[in-house]
Amino acid sequence: MKVLISTDIEGIAGVFHAEQTRAGNGEYEAARRWMTLEANAAIEGAFVGGATDVWVNDSHGGFRNLLPDLLDPRAQVVLGKPRTLGMMAGLEYGAALVFMIGYHAKAQTRGILAHTINSFAFARVAFNGIELGEAGLYGALAEEYGARVALLSGDDAFAEETAPRFPGARFVVTKTATGQASGVTQSPARVREALQAAARDVVRQHVEAGHAPVATRAEPRPVDCELRVQTSGLADLFCQWPTLTRVDGVTLRFSAASAEHAVRMLNCLSAMSFMLR
């Protein structure tokens, strides 16, 4: 059974403030270590459960946060950007199961450090009329590659909004949100224990059920994306792209041949937004 673990930082136990997610300070160094150790817990559980191959995708910011020398040497690590599949890079190697570790709630919600791809640029993203956060967007991409999203972790707001999107998936709640930058966390050690057990059980369940160990790609379906941006200036910028249609001052639309193409377009727009920072 091949497994891809996509690891973000905002949903990691103990992480509450933006400073913990940005390189260049001691709090970030502690948070990236917690992120690495939570990934390790999922790796260990996956192998105990019967995984044959595990890839770990660093899915935060510049995609250079995980500490490879601390990771289980049996896993392969996907680092750096740009890359075509973004937070799902590694799917191209045939992963049948996807774990989303340390994820967060979508923009404009009560979750800790909630945002969707780029907090400076995007206020709302919807595929075919359904608003989605990063788990939903990248889950759609994973499903196009024939992978199942089987395990997710993050705060309670993330779990509540995401569970209906992935029926049957396991969730590990790392902390409870009381505000955008406040809440009550489980201890990192306790979360790692829960992740290891959940990863073991999920992989074992799929192996024993006889699910294919390697994904088979599905036929992609077109996606209509509606994007609400944070300012009209960003809308001015993004609409330089000829395929975007402006609905109002801060709402844009575009069509894509697949979820993958839609996600790639969003990541391109996110990169464009840096010229207005």
* Domain boundaries of the chain, sorted by first residue: 2-117+134-208, 223-276
Tokens 């001052």 belong to 249
pLDDT in tens, the chain (277 residues): 999 999 999 999 999 999 999 999 999 999 999 999 999 999 999 999 999 999 999 999 999 999 999 999 999 999 999 999 999 999 999 999 999 999 999 999 999 999 999 999 999 999 999 999 999 999 999 999 999 999 999 999 999 999 999 999 999 999 999 999 999 999 999 999 999 999 999 999 999 999 999 999 989 999 999 999 999 999 999 999 999 999 999 999 999 999 999 999 999 999 999 999 8
CB neighbours of 84 closer than 8 A, spacing ≥ 6? 264
E-strand ranges in 144-222 read 148-155, 170-179, 182-185
pTM of the predicted structure, to 2 decimals: 0.97
Give the pair of three-digit tokens for residue 247: 């609905």
Q: What angle do CA 89, 19, 28 make, to 5 degrees?
A: 60
Domain 2-117+134-208, CATH number (from 3.50.50.60, 3.20.20.70, 3.40.30.10, 3.40.50.10780)? 3.40.50.10780
From first CA to last CA, the distance across the chain in angstroms is 43
